[in-house]
Structure 1
């Protein structure tokens, strides 16, 4: 598996799938979630509404992942995952790692050969960027053992210089 860093806008990533750091409601929001819904168009929202009406009436639980169309995005699929809110008093790192692992599992099930990830939970959910990057890179590397080379390329798309530095440092470690 090749792991790359391409800083910028995840909505322009030319991968088979992109990952949306969604909220549990799956109906759009701020940050990455809002950007993906805006750029992808109403098809993504319609698919998310269908998921809420059928499979996830109470919302998508943190750490799980589900795919929809990518609408007007260059990718074929959007894989929605809900990261945990950072807590100083409770270790939620297993849930954050699950976001990456489950997203890769969904991508492999779809036949995606490439996937792009944002820094899940590192925005409004308050996860410290260095630790978010550490967990992301570590989990992706560990997932190769489980999934093999099904997904051949993983791209991290950090937004901003601090995020890019954190991901590059972890990838080079």
Structure 2
């Protein structure tokens, strides 16, 4: 098994373990994120078309930040204008995927690869690795990680999440 297949398997198992649905599928058409399509809250992926395994974590982040009823109805490429304000969740999905890769002990470049994030992958890595967690208040507000007050009292702070799904 090569490293990419191992990483895909590791990520898929993690996604299942947190309560999201993910399945291998033949995806015949081109999608916004190569090799990934969302259907009624299920992440479908075609390993032969998947360009970057870490994209699975990013798409899982979008679903994880949705309310459960939104998540169950989410379909398509999760692009803006598909019935949900995906743009407002984008910074949170980026930070969520960072927490997930840290939990999985993956190199940040698995998610923040050279072809993603409009050329800002290294910027995200540098900020997150130095503790500058853009969108942290959003994840705290959603109840996914501890507040600054809880952290000040000695509890583990970000990138540790207290739960992976919004509700």
Same-fold status (TM-score > 0.5): no
Larger strand proportion, structure 1 or 2? 1
Higher relative contact order (CA 8 A, sep 6+): 1
Structure number with greater Rg is: 2
Superposition TM-score, scaled by structure 1 size: 0.31
Provide the TM-score with structure 2 as the length reference: 0.32
